[in-house]
Structure 1
Amino acid sequence: MKRNQGGMTLIGFIIVLAVAGVFIYTGMKVIPMYSEYYAVRQALEGLSKEPEIVNKSPAEIQDLFFRRLYISYAENVKPANVKIARKDAGYLMTVNYEVRKPLIANLDVVGKFNTEQELRRGAN
């Protein structure tokens, strides 16, 4: 009676390891992009809870926003990516930016992020 061994060959193991490595490497590039996006969201939500935010000028609001981002080490959002427009009795603040990270050779990971927050009186 002959017994057959079951299991993974060395070549199969190397292929699985390579595929897992590519996914892990891609995750290392993508996770910081989303972490920064959530820092932007938190900064916007924090601004909306700021007392008397509607009495500030757009330049002052933008300065407060970038101070919050500086604390979170978010460095991909530039002043050109931030738009502040009057809406009703407050402002509508829109942040639209793109993050591009090199992946392998000429392949890049690109993340496009767009979020907005209303800043108005009594928005707590």
Structure 2
Amino acid sequence: MTFARSQQGLSILGWLVVLAVVAFFASTAFKVLPHYLDYMSMEKIITSVETDKASGVRTVGDFYNHVSKGMQVNNIRDLNMRDALQVKVENNEFLVHLKYEKREPLIENLDLVVNFDKEFRVRMP
């Protein structure tokens, strides 16, 4: 009976396993999180065309310039805007399709893949 009471808690090996699992998930999160933050910034840049009356975005070229400036401000450098963004004008609305994927190496030949695909309908200001 007294032996069972003295054996409470994790052993050193148990703590090392827990620490390894926590470190793995933290490493994974730190590799994926910047891509999600960039994506959320891109969403805000695209939707800001509708609310930003001073930008004067009227054409597809203006839209691309607006997004390019927003990407510079938010320091999004590892995304090719022309490949990831398709813009069309239809019925006084910009139809925007944001689609791209990013890969981060995890362990040897294993990669983390994040795939972003969203369509926006943005009214012209």
TM value normalised by structure 2: 0.86
Listed one character per residue, the Cα deviations across residues 88-109 of structure 1 (whole Å, up to 9, x for unaligned) are 1222111111111111111111
Structure 2: how far apart are the matches of 1:39 and 1:29?
17
Identity %: 23
Structure 2: how far apart are the matches of 1:76 and 1:97?
11
Structure 2: how far apart are the matches of 1:69 and 1:107?
29
Q: Contact 1:41–1:115 at 8 Å: present in 2 too?
A: no
Q: Contact 1:76–1:99 at 8 Å: present in 2 too?
A: no
The reply to whether residue 106 of structure 1 matches residue 109 of structure 2 is yes
Change in Cα spacing, 1:3 to 1:59, as seen in structure 2 (3 Å) is same
Structure 2: segments with no counterpart, 5+ residues: none
Query: 5 Å matches for 1:14-93?
Result: 14-51=16-53, 52-53=56-57, 56-78=58-80, 79-93=82-96
Residue 117 of structure 1 deviates from its aligned partner by 2.2
Structure 1: segments with no counterpart, 5+ residues: none
Listed one character per residue, the Cα deviations across residues 13-35 of structure 1 (whole Å, up to 9, x for unaligned) are 11111111100000101111111
The reply to whether residue 96 of structure 1 matches residue 88 of structure 2 is no
More helix per residue: 1 or 2?
Answer: 2
Residue 115 of structure 1 deviates from its aligned partner by 2.3
Q: Where in structure 1 do 4 or more consecutive aligned residues deviate above 6 Å?
A: none
Q: Contact 1:102–1:109 at 8 Å: present in 2 too?
A: yes
Match of 1:119 in 2: 122
Q: Number of residue pairs matched? A: 120
Residue 73 of structure 1 deviates from its aligned partner by 1.2
